[in-house]
Amino acid sequence: MNRSKPSRLIAELIAAISALFLLAAGLVVSMSAALGHPLTDRLAASEVQTLASIEVNALFGGDAPTGGQPAAVNPLRAVANRLQSMFLNPAAILRNMLPQVSPGDPGGGLQTSLLNSIAAMSQTRHTLVIGWIPSTDASTCLRWIQDNPGVNVISPTWFHLADASGNLSGGVVPSVVQYAQERHIQVWVLVDNQFSATLTHKVLINPRAEANLIDEIAYQAKTYHLNGVNLDFENVAAADRNRFTQFVGALHARLQSLGIDLSLDLTPDIVQLDDSDAFFHAALADEVDQVVLMAYDEHWATDPDPGPVADLPWVERSVNDLLDTGVPANKLVLGIPLYTRFWYVNTDGSVQSDAVSAGAVQAILNEYRLPLGSWNASLDLMFTQYPTKTGYAEVWYPTSQTYEDWLQLVSNDGLAGVAAWSLAWSDPTSWASTVHALRLNASP
């Protein structure tokens, strides 16, 4: 038998197949050139369109089989499709990598879908979404939790430093704690110092009073199974800088032994590379689990000069100041306002202001047929001014673009999350804008 003949036939067959492959490749290249656009460009455009549809489906959900039952899947076909996608469809590979988000209640509309998306994001990406709750009324607290889906931490303002002996006033509302925790929402009770530098100083210079305050906070947190404590000591005297840092360290050590987080609220203190006032940023950051930057009240209630509650350049400077003076990005939470102010400037030079929900401003202006104003690109806010009987009024107010730009800082700087002051000011417009921005900008 001649063994060389089959070998020669096989070699000729391989050569023929190779020639056909090269001919086909040349034909593809020629067609691409003749059509005037590289084939790769058209393929890229196709992939972009496919990926766009993937993102829409991830946000809003796709068509599903009726009847509530998943469609039957042929395992062999599924394997074949997966193998095919590996070689022929890069978009399918990315589709398999994207997190699967369950569609929202079809009756809830766009906002429900966005809120469900941010809720899923906050759980899977460990992004903090904190909502302060300034109420001790159980029904009010529960309503605010229900009205703001996507929050994974609530911070009720339930405790206050009561006296120079380090005692607390206020109390926990157990039904609110239970309701939140059953829905996997952590409870970080807020403890404030009544904004009193004098009272705070008296406690910090008295070791017994300081120890008593730490005992009180730890007792309440342990007794009611709280997840954390949010310390909101403001207007602390610069002379108490080291004492305050030591107090925070001692409180953190005590809470840490109980498995309870400690977060600390800080106001902006924008002096380039300087934190010589009451708050030693780097040392405090070492002693807490989170630092919450209260990036609002750029112009406060009694400010003699009207202005924005928080414009974008000021918020950016506030964030950069804390980062530059030693607060790690992964511990820093950006606090944003859900309110703004109408300013009234009188002919005698006096100024008053009223705080309102940021999302209600346009409705107020429309109701009284007042001008909506214009967009101030440098401040990232809308601004309007109109005459009054005693002078004039003006207001700077955010839009959905403002919220997106604020929240972009969380993504750009790799921050731990966002906190909203407060859920009392929340409305569907401002909250939907906030969670939408979080969904778009959150870092993986």
Q: What number is the average pLDDT over the span 46-66?
A: 35
Residue 185 pLDDT more than 60?
yes
Residue 67 has, within 13 A of its CA and on its CB side, a CA count of 5
Which of 316, 294, 440, 423 lies closest to 380, judged by CA? 316
Residue 77 pLDDT more than 70?
no
Higher pLDDT, residue 426 or 333 = 333
Domains and their CATH numbers in the chain: 109-337+398-441 (3.20.20.80)
Alpha-helical segments (H) within 183-311: 197-204, 207-223, 241-257, 281-286
Give the pLDDT band (50/70/90) at residue 176.
very high
Token digits for 143?
Answer: 């309503």
In the chain, the percentage of residues whose pLDDT exceeds 70 is 67
Residue 176 has, within 13 A of its CA and on its CB side, a CA count of 27
426, 338 Cβ separation under 8 angstroms: yes
Weakest mean pLDDT among 156-160, 388-392, 438-442: 438-442
Looking at residue 21, what is its pLDDT? 58
Distant-in-sequence, close-in-space partners of 375: CB < 8 Å, separation ≥ 6: 381, 382, 399
Token digits for 231?
Answer: 């310390």
State the Cα–Cα distance between residues 168 and 388, nearest whole angstrom.
Answer: 45
Distant-in-sequence, close-in-space partners of 114: CB < 8 Å, separation ≥ 6: 59, 432, 435, 436, 439
Q: How many residues does the chain have?
A: 444
Residue 122 pLDDT more than 70?
no
The region, left, alpha or beta by phi > 0 then psi within -120 to 50, assigned to residue 326 is left
365, 394 Cβ separation under 8 angstroms: no
State the Cα–Cα distance between residues 310 and 300, nearest whole angstrom.
Answer: 10
Higher pLDDT, residue 55 or 271 = 271
What is the tens place of the pLDDT at every residue in 146-175? 999 889 999 999 999 999 999 999 999 999
Looking at residue 69, what is its pLDDT? 35
Looking at residue 300, what is its pLDDT? 93
Residue type, 86: M
What is the tens place of the pLDDT at every residue in 285-341? 999 999 999 999 999 999 999 999 999 999 999 999 999 999 999 999 999 999 999
Residue 207 pLDDT more than 90?
yes
Q: What number is the average pLDDT over the span 5-13?
A: 53
Query: What value, to the nearest 5°, has the Cα angle with vertex 199 and ends 197 and 202?
Result: 105
Give the pLDDT band (50/70/90) at residue 260.
very high
The helix-helix angle for 39-60 and 109-124 (nearest 10°) equals: 100
257 phi and psi angles, rounded to 5 deg: -65, -20
H or E, element range at 291:
strand 290-294
Give the pLDDT band (50/70/90) at residue 407.
confident
- Residue identified by tokens 């096989």 is 10
What is the tens place of the pLDDT at every residue in 85-113? 333 333 333 333 333 322 232 223 323 33
Q: What is the CA radius of gyration of the chain?
A: 29
Which DSSP string corresponds to 362-390? HHHHHHTT----EEETTTTEEEEEEEETT
Which of 385, 375, 192 lies closest to 294, judged by CA? 192
158, 205 Cβ separation under 8 angstroms: no
Per-residue buried b or exposed e for 188-205, using 16+ beta carbons within 10 Å of the residue's own CB: bbbbbbeebbebbbbbbe
- From residue 18, alpha-carbon distances to 7, 9, 24, 25, 444 in Å are 17, 14, 10, 11, 45
Edge-to-edge strands of the sheet including 391-397? 351-357, 339-346, 391-397, 381-388, 374-376
Secondary structure letter of residue 406 according to DSSP: H
H or E, element range at 10:
helix 4-35
Residue 415 pLDDT more than 60?
yes
Which DSSP string corresponds to 167-218? -EEE---HHHHHHHHHTT-EEEEEEE-TT-HHHHHHHHT-HHHHHHHHHHHH
